[in-house]
């Protein structure tokens, strides 16, 4: 990977969007690529933190695990998003585990280098604060949904929120993970998820096509999720 490519990858991340060109190039010159296969672990909860990562291609899921092995997926990150910013700022251990969903390419930047740039350019501190604020808002919303919405409505909200238009114009969702992984993201068992999905399918709102879901009536799903 050339420094120019690395600069482009860093610039695409909102975390570094306000960085001065010379500082961004300095980070790029000291960065290096990481490649993961499906299911590979980037880092685990509790381990020391030495790098900030920018997702170049693919998706990474951030997951918390209980001592019994139960999982809760906190977020799924895609190209242009960063991970490891919390540990980079407070220099504490990793707060969750990061696992590849399919093949993933990342750009790794030493946390010490990023902190040096943040200290030298206060505008980047605001960008970092905005990034963390977005994470807090997302987690706050997820926590509220767990308390106030039943599973069918949480599932409907997730499907509507992540849908994009396919080649045929229909709205589709590709979770990029198994139904067990999707269940972990919603904080339930696979059997419970299957029942909720069957209910949405019976109403004619959703159709499963292989690993993807087609939204046959997105308006009905939106109304249902907000009811």
pLDDT tens digits, 12-43: 888 888 888 888 899 999 999 999 999 999 99
Domain 3-146, second-level architecture: Sandwich (2.60)
Using DSSP bridges, classify how beta strands 51-65 and 82-83 pair: parallel, antiparallel or unpaired. Answer: antiparallel
Q: Is the pLDDT of residue 177 over 80?
A: no
Query: To 10 degrees, the CA torsion angle through 80, 85, 88, 94?
Result: -110
Q: Is the pLDDT of residue 178 over 80?
A: no
Whether 129 shows a pLDDT value over 90: the answer reads: no
Q: Percent of the chain scored above 90 by pLDDT?
A: 41
pLDDT at residue number 12: 86
Ranges in the chain annotated CATH 2.60.120.10: 3-146
Of 1 and 198, which is predicted with more confidence?
198
Task: Give pLDDT tens digits for 210-223.
Answer: 878 999 999 999 99
What average pLDDT score do residues 162-178 get? 82
Rounded CA gap, 60 and 83, in Å? 9
The per-residue pLDDT of the chain, averaged, comes to 88
pLDDT band at 1 (very low <50, low <70, confident <90, very high): low
Task: Delimit the CATH 1.10.10.10 region(s) of the chain.
Answer: 149-226
Q: Give pLDDT tens digits for 41-94.
A: 999 999 998 999 999 999 999 998 888 877 888 888 999 999 998 888 888 999
Residue 119, pLDDT above cutoff 80: yes
At 111 the pLDDT is 93
Task: Report DSSP letters for the chain, one per residue.
Answer: --HHHHHHHHHHSGGGTT--HHHHHHHHHH-EEEEE-TT-EEE-TTS---EEEEEEEEEEEEEEE-TTS-EEEEEEE-TT-EE-HHHHHH----SSEEEEEEEEEEEEEEHHHHHHHHHH-HHHHHHHHHHHHHHHHHHHHHHHHHHHS-HHHHHHHHHHHH-EE-TTS-EEE--SS-HHHHHHHHTS-HHHHHHHHHHHHHTTSEEEETTEEEES-HHHHHHHHH-
Q: How much is the pLDDT for 105?
A: 96
Architecture field, domain 149-226? Orthogonal Bundle (1.10)
Separation between Cα atoms, residue 226 and residue 2, nearest integer Å: 47
The pTM for the full model equals: 0.76
pLDDT value of residue 206: 93
CA distances from 190 to 115, 140, 145, 148, 170 (A): 41, 24, 18, 21, 26
């Amino acid at each position: 990977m050339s420094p120019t490519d690395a600069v482009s990858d860093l610039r695409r991340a909102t975390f570094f969007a306000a960085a001065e060109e010379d500082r961004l190039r300095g980070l790029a010159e000291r960065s290096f690529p990481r490649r993961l296969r499906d299911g590979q672990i980037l880092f685990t909860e509790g381990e020391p933190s030495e790098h900030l990562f920018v997702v170049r291609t693919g998706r990474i899921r951030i997951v918390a695990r209980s001592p019994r092995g139960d999982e809760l997926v906190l977020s799924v990150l895609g190209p242009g998003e960063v991970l490891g910013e919390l540990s980079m700022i407070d220099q504490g251990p990793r707060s969750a585990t990061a696992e590849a969903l399919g093949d993933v390419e990342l750009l790794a930047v030493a946390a010490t280098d990023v902190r040096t740039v943040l200290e030298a350019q206060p505008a980047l501190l605001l960008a970092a604060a905005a990034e963390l604020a977005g994470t807090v808002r997302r987690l706050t919303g997820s926590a509220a949904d767990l308390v106030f919405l039943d599973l069918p409505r949480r599932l409907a909200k997730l499907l509507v929120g992540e849908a994009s238009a396919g080649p045929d114009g229909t709205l589709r969702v590709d979770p990029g993970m198994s139904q067990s992984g999707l269940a972990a993201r919603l904080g339930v068992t696979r059997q419970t998820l299957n029942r909720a999905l069957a209910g949405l399918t019976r109403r004619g709102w959703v159709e499963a096509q292989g690993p993807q879901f087609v939204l046959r009536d997105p308006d009905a799903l939106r109304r249902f999720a907000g009811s």
